Chains A and B, each alone.
Chain A
Amino acid sequence: QVQLVQSGAEVKKPGASVKVSCKASGYIFSNYYMHWVRQAPGQGLEWMGIINLSGDATINTQKFQGRLTVTRDTSTSTLYMELSSLKFDDTAVYYCARAGPGVAVASTDYWGQGTLITVSA
C-alpha cells in the first residue's frame, strides 16, 4: 500500500533552516509529482509547493519564494523540503503528499503523517 513516512519533529531557532524528509513506498515514486503542505497550530491547510517527476522543476507559492527548496531523490524514493530563514510563524506541521489520483498533478491523494517544526528562541 502507498506509504509516505516523514522524518521526526524538530525545534529550530529563528533564522535557522530545517530539512524534512518523506520516504515513499508502495508505488513507483518517479511516476508521481509530489507536494508539500503545512498546517499551523489550530489553522487550516496551506499549500507550499510541488516538484515534477524528474525533480528539475518546482513551483512554490509566492509566500515562500527564496526560502523554500523542494528536492527528490529517485534512487531512495525520498522527497525533501528545506525551509530557510525560519520565523516564529513557520511553526507548523509539515506534510508531504502525493499528486493524484491518477495523472492529476495539482490534486493530492496520499499524505505523510506530518512533521512538527517548532520555531522557538
Chain B
Amino acid sequence: DIQMTQSPSSLSASIGDRVTITCRASQNINNYLNWYQQRPGKAPTLLIYTASSLHSGVPSRFSGSGSGTDFTLTIRNVQPEDFGTYFCHQGYQTPVTFGQGTMLEIK
C-alpha cells in the first residue's frame, strides 16, 4: 500500500496569512494527488485534484503543486472559513490511501 505522510499535523494561522501543508507519498504517484478540507462534523470536500487543478467552486486562494512523491497545498490570504482538517489522498492505485490530516486553527 502507498503510505501518505502529511506535515505538520496541526498549525495555527491568522487571517490573511499564507499556509503551506505538505504531503509525501511512499512511492511515485505521478500527479494523482487530491487535497480535501473537512470541517468538524462534515464530510470532506474536494479542493485540489491531480495535484494542481482547482475543483469547481473552490476559491483561487487555494493552490496545489508537486509531482512524483512530494506535494504541497498552499492557502494564500487565509480566511475564517478555512478552519478544519486538510487531508491528502492518492488516487494512483487501490487501495486508496489518505494522509493522516493537518488541523488548521484560525487565531
The interface of chain A, by Cβ under 8 A from chain B, is: 35, 37, 44-47, 50, 59, 61-62, 95, 101, 104-114
Q: Name 11 A/B residue pairs within 8 A (Cβ), A-sorted.
A: A37-B96, A44-B87, A45-B98, A59-B95, A61-B95, A104-B49, A105-B91, A107-B50, A108-B34, A108-B46, A114-B43
Residue B32, interface by CB 8 Å:
yes
Using CB atoms, name the residue of chain B closest to A45.
Answer: B98
Contact check, A47 vs B97: say whether CB atoms are below 8 A apart.
yes
Interface residues on B, range: 20 to 34
Contact check, B49 vs A44: say whether CB atoms are below 8 A apart.
no
Contact check, B43 vs A104: say whether CB atoms are below 8 A apart.
no
The interface of chain B, by Cβ under 8 A from chain A, is: 32, 34, 42-46, 49-50, 53, 55, 87, 89-101
Question: For residue B44, which residues in chain A have a CB less than 8 angstroms away from its CB?
Answer: 45, 95, 111
Contact check, B100 vs A44: say whether CB atoms are below 8 A apart.
yes
Interface centre among A35, A44, A110, A114 (most CB of B within 10 A): A44
Distance in Å from the Cβ of A14 to the closest Cβ of chain B? 25
Question: For residue B42, which residues in chain A have a CB less than 8 angstroms away from its CB?
Answer: 113-114
Q: With A and B bound together, what is the CA distance between A112 and B43 in angstroms?
A: 7
Question: For residue B91, which residues in chain A have a CB less than 8 angstroms away from its CB?
Answer: 104-108
Given known contacts A47-B96, A95-B43, A108 and B89 CB-to-CB distance under 8 angstroms: yes
